[in-house]
Amino acid sequence: MTEQQAEPTGLEIAVVGMAGRFPGADSVGRFWDSVLDGGERITSFTADDSIAAGVAPEQARHSDYRHVHGVLDGVEYFDNVLFGYTPRDAALLDPQQRVFLECAWAAMEDAGYAPRTGGGAPVGVYAGASQNAYLLSNLLRTPGALANTSPQELLLATEKDLLAARVSYHLDLRGPSVSVQSSCSSSMVAVHMACQALLAGECEMALAGGVTIHVPQHEGYLHTVGSVFSSTGHCLPFDAGADGTVFGNGVGVVVLKPLADALADRDSIHAVILGSAVNNDGARRLSFTAPGVDGQVAVVRAAHRVAGVDPRTISYVETHGTGTSLGDPIEFEALTEALGRDGAPCTLGTLKAQIGHLSSAAGVAGLIKTVLALKHRVLPPSRHFTRPNPEIDLDSGRFRLLTEATEWPEYGGRRRAAVSSFGIGGTNAHMVLEEPPPPTPHSVARREHEVLLLSAREDEPLLELAARLREHLETHPEAELSDVAGTLQSGRTPQRRRAAVTCTDIDSATAALAAVRPPSADARDRGVVFMFPGQGSQRVGMGRELYETEETFRAWIDAADERLDFDLRDLLYAGDPVENARTLAHTGYTQPALFAVEHALARLWMELGLVPRAMIGHSLGEYVAATVAGCIDFATALDLVAARARLMQDQPPGAMLTVNLPVAEIRPVLDAETAVAAVNGPALCVVSGPVPSVEMLEKRLRAAGATCRRLRTSHAFHSPMMEAVAAPFVSRLREAVLRPPEIPFVSNLTGDWIRAEEAVDPEYWIRHMLAPVRFHEGVGRLLSGPASVLLEVGPGTTLRTLVGRAGDDHVLLGGLPDPERAADGGAYLARTVGRLWEAGAPVDWSRWRRDGWSRVSLPTYPFRRLRHWVEPTPGSGPAPAVAAAHDTSDARPLLGAETTGAEGAGAGLSETVLRIWRELLGTDDVGLDDDFFELGGHSLLATRIIAKVADATGTGLPGDALYSAPTPRELVALVEQREVPLVAAVQEDSELMAQLIADIAELSPEEVEQQLREGS
Q: What are the catalytic residues?
A: 184, 320, 357, 619
Question: What does the alpha-carbon distance between residue 795 and residue 817 come to, in Å, rounded to a whole number?
Answer: 6
Hey, how many other C-beta atoms are within 10 angstroms of the C-beta on 918?
A: 18
Question: What does the alpha-carbon distance between residue 963 and residue 63 come to, in Å, rounded to a whole number?
Answer: 60
Three-state DSSP at 18 gives strand
Question: What does the alpha-carbon distance between residue 71 and residue 44 come to, in Å, rounded to a whole number?
Answer: 9
- Displacement of CA 6 from its chain's centroid (Å): 40
- Displacement of CA 521 from its chain's centroid (Å): 18
Beta strands in 577-695 (DSSP E): 614-617, 655-659, 675-681, 684-689
Question: What does the alpha-carbon distance between residue 970 and residue 964 come to, in Å, rounded to a whole number?
Answer: 8
Selection from 508, 510, 436 nearest residue 473 by Cα: 510
Residue type, 460: E
Is the dihedral angle over the CA atoms 783, 785, 787, 788 positive or is it negative? negative
Give the 3-state secondary structure percentages of the chain, helix then strand then coil, rounded to 5.
40, 15, 45
- End-to-end CA separation in angstroms for the chain: 96
Hey, how many other C-beta atoms are within 10 angstroms of the C-beta on 631?
A: 26
Three-state DSSP at 687 gives strand
Distant-in-sequence, close-in-space partners of 813: CB < 8 Å, separation ≥ 6: 789, 790, 791, 792, 800, 832, 835, 836, 839
H/E segment holding residue 271: strand 271-280
512, 501 in Cβ contact below 8 A? yes
Selection from 474, 535, 532, 537 nearest residue 506 by Cα: 474
Question: What does the alpha-carbon distance between residue 811 and residue 831 come to, in Å, rounded to a whole number?
Answer: 14
Residue type, 853: W
Residue type, 718: H
Question: What does the alpha-carbon distance between residue 648 and residue 713 come to, in Å, rounded to a whole number?
Answer: 12
Question: What does the alpha-carbon distance between residue 478 and residue 41 come to, in Å, rounded to a whole number?
Answer: 33
- Displacement of CA 436 from its chain's centroid (Å): 28
If DSSP states are collapsed to H, E and C, what string results for 487-550?
A: HHHHCCCCCCEEEEEEECCHHHHHHHHHCCCCCCCCCCCCEEEEEECCCCCCCCCCCHHHHHHC
**Residues forming beta bridges with residue 983, ordered by sequence position:** none
Distant-in-sequence, close-in-space partners of 794: CB < 8 Å, separation ≥ 6: 532, 533, 537, 594, 597, 598, 601, 621, 815, 816
Q: DSSP letters of 801-834?
A: HHH----TTEEEEESS--TTS---HHHHHHHHHH
Selection from 362, 374, 414, 171 nearest residue 269 by Cα: 374
Q: DSSP letters of 107-175?
A: HHHHHT--TT--SSS-EEEEEEE---HHIIIIITTSTTTTTT--HHHHHHHH-GGGHHHHHHHHHT--S
Omega of the bond prior to 216 within 30 degrees of 0, cis?
yes
Pairing of strands 205-212, 250-258: antiparallel
Burial class for 226, CB neighbours closer than 10 Å (0-12, 13-18, 19+): exposed
